[in-house]
Structure 1
Amino acid sequence: MGILRIAVEDTSRIEATSARLHLTIAGSSSFVGGTALRKAAEVRELVGLLAEQGVGEDAFEVVGLNAENGSGILVKSQRVAISLTLTVLPEQLGAVLGTLTARPGVRIDELEWRYDEFEASITAATAAMAKARRKGEALAAAAGQRIVGIAEISDSWNRHAPRMVYAAAATRSQSMAKAAPEMDLGLDLTSTTELSVHLSVDFQIGD
């Protein structure tokens, strides 16, 4: 009895499960003083607008606050920038982008597609195993042998999903927002990416 090692490299396209937008909202420091950032007027207004599109409040996460005076000290009536993320379903993204780009004081910094690559890797590895078995049987037969068992299997996977950073053209001024024309964001808003799988199988072969 011997060992026949077969390695298979395979790729597949997988669909995004959600999109995460990284936003910056211009706000006022008047809410500072015990009131949560999620309760800031600017954030509440945006949450209300997107609720009409089926986006719940739990889709928002406030991640930071930046003072615009350079000192880092918050004072009353000072302007601040609120950093937050917004997670939406792929089918909601078009309408959400339309709302965000029409809002003065809202800047879209980054779009990040999110995937369930673990679940996708199960299907991909299963397909790779079928290929490895076919190849193993063919090679064993050519050597006058047959597959009688499996000694070891290992697999690994990775995906390619670059983040998309918005160009300056993706930010609207207040005067542009009044007209709210359609806007070319300069991005290929594809919700698929490539998943690569590597599978190694040690088949036991014999007469």
Structure 2
Amino acid sequence: MDFCAIDFETATYERNSACELGICIVENSEVVATKTWLIKPPSFPYFSQRNIDVHGILPHDVKDSPTFDDIWYEVEEMMYGTLMIAHNASFDAGVLRSCLDHYGMFKPKLNYLCSIQLAKKSWNYLPRYGLKHLAEYHQIKFNHHRAGDDAEACARISLLAFEKLFITTNDEVMQYFESKLKKL
């Protein structure tokens, strides 16, 4: 299994307002790297208090950070050719699309899968499928709503789900989740 798990935190309700990005790289079913970037969003210095209450990132935390277009090529290289997984993937894929659109950048040809759907297939008896609840269920400790930690928790939960479903290759993921896979 080779994939990347991603997570964004945003400064405002605008999808292009990414203020943090985390990516966790999985190669041969092993977590090999997790990286986090603080990002200066287009809305800087404005941050919605509601968003701050969720992730705790303040404008002064990102004042000297790169903008999304400054980090994209490094991120894209890490993601190149892999399946992308995110918890509530429609949100994270939407943020990625909006950031790329905002900076006039091309979208990569990338398939993505939601780890919530993956978890529901694997543990259909659980009462809740939020990242925090799944991590607690699997005894995965992480700092919730920080992008790198969320991405790594998503990756670890996805690996456990693939194991439970006896899915061992990316081709099997493509077959098993054909109707659930989306294109960026």
TM-score above 0.5: no
If asked which structure has higher relative contact order (CA below 8 Å, sep 6+), I would say: 1
- TM superposition score category, shorter chain reference: under 0.3
Compute the TM-score of the two structures, normalised by the length of structure 2.
0.27
TM-score, normalised with respect to structure 1 = 0.25
Q: Which has the higher helix share?
A: 2
